[in-house]
Structure 1
Amino acid sequence: MTTEHSGDGDISRSLELLWGLGERPSRGPKPALSLDRIVDAAVAVADAEGLGALSMRRVAAELGVGTMSLYRYVPGKAELLDLMLDKIVEFDPDAHPDPSDGWRTVLESVARGGRRLHQLHPWLLQVDQARPLLGPNTLTGLEFALTGLAGTGLTDREKFQVLVAVDAFVTGHARTRLNSAQAEKRTGISDEDFWKAQEPVMIKAMETGRYPHLAALAEDTFAFGDKEDDEIFELGLKGLLDGLSAFIERRGPGRPKSP
C-alpha cells in the first residue's frame, strides 16, 4: 500500500498556498486554471483511483491541460497533498452542533464527522500525518473542538490529549473496515467465503471442549455488515466518552488539576 507523508515538500511554499500568502498578479488575462480547481481534481483522482494513482500528470489529465501548466500553481505532488489534506476537512457549520450544546455533543460530532471523512476519502489512511501542516480548515476544526471542551476543567494539554484519543479511535475503526474491504478486493475471496472455509476446522475445535465460551456464542455474534459496523462504532464511542465524562466529573468544571 502506498504511504505518503504530510509536510514532505517545501513547507514554506505549502503554507503560502494554504493561507493565500503568495503574491497574485493584478493584471493580465484571467488564468485558465485555479489552485482550487487543481486541488479538487486531485482529491477526485485519489477518491476514485487511490493515492497510488495520484501524480501531477494524472491531475493534469483530469483537468484536460498539460502537466507543466500545473507547476504555475503548485510546486509538486508533496505540496499538492498538503493542500488536499486541508481541503477535505473544510468546516461546514451547518453540519455541526453549536459548541454551547456541551463537550460530549461536540466530540460526538467530531468523531462521526471523522468517520464520514474516512468513508468518503479512504486514501486518507495512507497518509502519515505525524507532522501535519496547519491550514485554515484544519485550524477551524480544532477551534470548534476546543470551544466545546472549554469549561470542562481539563488542562490545555489534556484537551489535546482527548482529541488525539478520539482521532485514534476513529482512525483505528476506519482502518479495520478498510483492511477488510481491501482483503476481499486483493484476494477475490469474500468475507463470507473466507470464514466459511474455516468452519469445518472451527467446528472440530469447539467439539474438544477446550473453548467453552467461544462454543457458547450466539450464531449472529460475528455478523458483520453496515448495521453491525455502525453498532461497533457507536459502542466504542460511547465507552470512550463515558470514561472521559467520569474523568471530567472528578475534576469539577473550571478547575484544572494535576492527574
Structure 2
Amino acid sequence: MPRPRSLTPDQLASAALAVIDRDGLAALSMRAVAQELGMSTMGLYRYVHDREELERLVVELVLSAVDSEPPDPDASWRERIEIMVRRLRDTVGAHPAVVPLTITHRHHSLGVLRWSETVLGILAEAGVAGERRVVALRGLLSYVIGAIQLEHLGPLSGPGTTAITELPPAEFPHMIETARHARDVGTDQEFAGGLALLLDGLGGAVR
C-alpha cells in the first residue's frame, strides 16, 4: 500500500518560495526544496513531478494572495484600476525573484485570472472594448512586471545610475542629465508616475 501523503500543495509551495526568497530563482531545484522540507529528493517526487510543477505551485501561492475583489464602485474607473495595479505590485513585489515565473505560468494561476477578470470588468464598464481592452490588460500587466523588476534589480539610486553620470558628456549628454535627476526619484514616485502616463493614454479609449 502506498504511503499516505502528508504534505499539502501550500506546504510544498511555501518551501519552494523560501528557497527562492533566500537564494534566488536559480537555486530552485527538487533537491533544494527537499532539503528545505527535511526529506529526501526521491521522497519529494511523490508529491510533484519536476521543478516546473514546483514553479506553478509557487506562482499560485504568491498570486492567490492578490486581492481580486472589485474596488468601491463609486470610485472612478481610473482610481479602481490604480487600486488593482497596486495590489498586484505589493503582493508580487514582496517576492521579486518570483516575477519571471509569473510571466511563464500566469495562465495557470487562478489568482492572476481572478485579478484580470476584475480589471477587465472595470475596463468594460469604462467602455474599453475589443482589441483595445486586450492591449490595455496586457499593458497593465507588462507595466507592473517590468516596474517590479526595475525596482528590485536596477533601482534608480543604484550603481548603474551612478555609472551613467560618469559617461562621456559629449556623447551621452541626455543620459547623464537624466541620471542625475533619477537620484532624487523614489520608487513609489517612479511607479506612480509611470502608471499615470499609462492611464493617461488609456483614457483616450474610455467613452
TM superposition score category, shorter chain reference? 0.7 to 0.9
Distance 1:131 1:32 in 2: 26
Tell me how far 1:39 sits from its aligned partner: 0.8
For 1:122 and 1:175, locate their aligned partners in 2 and report how far apart those are by CA, in whole Å: 7
Determine the structure 1 residue equivalent to 2:192: 234
Question: Retained in 1: the 8 A contact 2:89–2:148?
Answer: yes
Aligned CA RMSD, in angstroms, stands at 3.5
Instruction: Give the length in aligned residue pairs.
Output: 205
Q: 2:163 aligns with which of 170, 175, 194?
A: 194
**Higher helix residue share:** 2
1:222 equivalent in structure 2: 182
Instruction: Judge conservation of contact 1:102–1:148 (CA < 8 Å) in 2.
Output: no
**Alpha-carbon shift at residue 102 of structure 1 (Å):** 3.8
Q: What secondary structure sits across from 2:133 in the alignment?
A: helix
Gaps of 5+ in 2: none
Map Cα deviations across residues 134-163 of structure 1 (whole Å, 9 max, x no partner).
332222212221222232222244323211
Which runs of no fewer than 5 residues in structure 1 stay unpaired?
Answer: 1-27, 185-189, 253-259
Distance 1:169 1:92 in 2: 17
Cα deviations by residue, 1:46-67 (Å, 9 ceiling, x for unpaired): 1111111001111111111122
Please report how far the alpha carbon of residue 94 of structure 1 lies from its aligned counterpart in structure 2 after TM superposition: 8.7
Indicate yes or no: 2:29 matched with 1:55. yes
How many angstroms apart in 2 are the aligned matches of 1:125 and 1:115? Answer: 10
Identify if the C-alpha distance between structure 1 residues 229 and 95 changes in structure 2 by more than 3 Å, giving closer, same or farther. farther
Which of 66, 77, 81 is equivalent to 2:55? 81
Partner SS, residue 97 of structure 1: coil
1:169 is aligned to 2:143: yes
In the TM superposition, residue 110 of structure 1 has moved relative to its aligned partner by 2.7
Structure number with the bigger relative contact order (C-alpha 8 A, sep ≥ 6) is 1
Give the match for residue 154 of structure 2.
Answer: 180
SS at match of 1:32: coil
Letter in 2 for 1:59: V
Give the letter aligned to residue 245 of structure 1: G
Question: Percent identity over the alignment?
Answer: 29
